A and B are shown apart, each in its own frame.
Chain A
């Protein structure tokens, strides 16, 4: 199949998907009468999907354009779809088979650009890009270099031990750790509420994020968790949640930020019966030069959430370790770190 033919097919698929589901994006207004629970809180209960092909950061090739025209959106979608798909037939048989494995799992909603045609999920800063990083302290620089070395060993098929794998591959955390950003699959969450609580259950890694919305203080600052510690409050129809207390383990906090200064504020607003607006603002003066904000609409779906388990049957972790010992015996060595992430971060 030629590339042009493939793009045409993908374009057709996108058109069909867009017709079937066109979530309203970009709305931040609260409806006049938001749905309420019997105890009077805004009602966010439901099963939601947040997959999209719109990238977190604005791609360089669209320049400063924040919103695309219809024609540009079509072209943009096609290119993104092509970049995302593994069915490219341009790398020989071995590459084809390797890509097909991931293609099998891909959520087709990942091929859908947001209907507001934004070029990035980031809405602030206005350039749609993550702000520049501040220089790391020597200790954090060393930790980052060690993490890069672990990722390089993983990517070369030469992990030293289970601790060379990332938290998602070890089955500790994945999309359950905020911010909620889509990956190639399982971009589904269920929201539960009870008086004084909102609970977000992300499909991946199966941990529920229990959020008190009763005004209580955070847990002690020395009590750190993989998902941090979250407190919520209602501002009109919007749930505002703030999370601190992330663990210091490698990969525990988003973006290799400094867990001692990192905070994330997330806002959920049910802008329509079938649409949640999800907005998050990240700040960490020890990591980024300024706070930054992204917005992703969540679409209500009729499908169910199913149990996701990794650790319990993590056959591949053993295969990779056993394979690494064979590769070592053959004299294979690890190349210089390339910056490629170490697994489980597949967008």
Chain B
């Protein structure tokens, strides 16, 4: 794949001449020539930043640019809810599927619930504990989004990788956070909105095994869903200092006929002094959730 150009540079140092071999990528050569831009999906081999222990340094603020939060699968541009109130503000952009093969392999009997979720996505009813979570997209209610949805919600998140057995992933949306326990044996002691994450390195890839997720989270605003049997295995691979490739294998035998995979790149936020800000959205959901119980 990678071509090497021989560049001969003569350096005068006293009477000695030193010959240097300079290796450059074709892209770099062509960029110098003012030509071709990089090809999407093709990642030339680059030097990635590393920590003192030799592992790739994933620290930074990252953000997805896909519109998968509307729908993991192919989606046309469409009107959103309540166009009579907010017009094109709720319009939803088109996007290509991030699912390998294009389509989530639902078991035939499991598809009806996705449709039902979509139809009820803007409805809520918290009048009874037992049916508290039955209606509405959890995002609408400002609930913690779970994994992998937190990764592509359109909000940035920060990876904090230090020198302990723990890494932190902290998300702007709802201030959700996940501790990644490295090489951890203990199974999830309970069900959590952001799951129970155990990490390990496979070569230069951080692999995170996520179990113990609450069954109520969704994958997108289209009602794609899972059950309590969900297992997500994420793979984070630096493909350049500015791009972090994200892949997740999703399995849940109650809902899908086989494991399936999503993949997309995360982009490093590069603005000077960029930082995660707060999106504590609970107050924005309270009128919708609890308005009917207020004093008339």
Contact = CB atoms under 8 A, between A and B. Distances in A.
Interface in B76-117: none
A170 to B, nearest CB: 6
B293 A208 contact: no
A321 B290 contact: yes
B interface, how many residues as a size bin? 35 or more
Nearest to A320: B293
B278 A226 contact: yes
Contacts of A322: 127, 293
Interface string A152-166: 000000001111000
Nearest to A319: B129
A343 interface: no
B282 interface: yes
Contacts of B140: none
Interface stretch (B22-30, B172-180, B222-230): B172-180
A162 B286 contact: yes
Interface in B153-168: 158, 160-164, 166-168
Nearest to B292: A321
A154 to B, nearest CB: 13
B170 A324 contact: no
A219 B293 contact: no
Interface string A281-321: 00000000000000000000000111101011101011001
A190 B214 CA distance: 23
B143 A225 contact: no
Nearest to B161: A194
A333 to B, nearest CB: 13
Contacts of A195: 59
Interface in B282-296: 282-283, 285-287, 289-291, 293-295
A46 interface: yes
A190 B166 contact: yes
B232 to A, nearest CB: 16
Interface string A250-285: 000000000000000000000000000000000000
A172 B276 contact: no
Interface stretch (B11-19, B37-45, B62-70, B189-197): B189-197
Contacts of B277: 219, 223, 225
A312 B143 contact: yes
B53 interface: yes
- B52, B127, B170: most-surrounded residue (chain A CB, <10 A): B170
Contacts, number: 130
B190 A306 contact: yes
A162 B290 contact: yes
A42 interface: no
Contacts of A226: 278, 280
Interface stretch (A26-34, A131-139, A210-218, A234-242): A210-218
Contact of B170 (A205, A210, A216, A325): A210
Nearest to B296: A325
B283 A170 contact: yes
A194 B166 CA distance: 11
Contacts of A170: 282-283, 286
A313 B129 CA distance: 8
B193 A312 contact: yes
Contacts of A311: 142-143, 282, 285
Interface of A: 37-39, 43, 45-46, 160-163, 170-173, 190, 192-195, 197, 199, 201, 205-208, 210, 212, 216-217, 219, 223, 225-227, 304-307, 309, 311-313, 315, 317-318, 321-322, 324-325, 328
5 contacts: A161-B291, A162-B293, A193-B160, A206-B175, A210-B276
